[in-house]
């Protein structure tokens, strides 16, 4: 299950682990900002939030990696408009 909320400066996606496999994992909260994406999850051992920050380039690479076989890749950046 997941939720999507649009805040003033970010889109917030919350992933809730409601699967059949136990133990269930803590909720994952993604905050999509103009220049980065943060991923937060509570560490159940310390009860503290762990945050990972991805650049938009890393998000693009992650999205591409989900559909590719094992290997090493470098995505080409699209060329800008010609003057």
Show me where the domains of the chain are located. Answer: 2-65
Q: Are 46 and 36 in contact (CB under 8 A)?
A: no
What is the reported pLDDT for 40?
98
Model pTM above 0.85: no
Q: Give residue-wise pLDDT tens across range 9-35.
A: 999 999 999 988 888 999 999 999 999
Which pLDDT band, with edges at 50, 70 and 90, does 68 fall under? confident
What is the reported pLDDT for 61?
93
What is the reported pLDDT for 74?
87
Token pair 């980065």 is found at 36
């Amino acid at each position: 299950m997941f939720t999507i909320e649009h805040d003033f400066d970010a889109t917030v996606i919350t992933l809730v682990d409601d699967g059949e496999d136990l133990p269930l994992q803590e909720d994952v909260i993604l905050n999509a900002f103009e220049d980065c994406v943060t991923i937060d999850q509570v560490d159940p051992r310390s009860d503290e939030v762990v945050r990972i920050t991805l650049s938009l380039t890393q998000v693009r690479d992650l999205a591409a990696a989900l559909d590719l076989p094992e290997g090493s890749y470098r995505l080409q950046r699209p060329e800008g408009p010609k003057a």
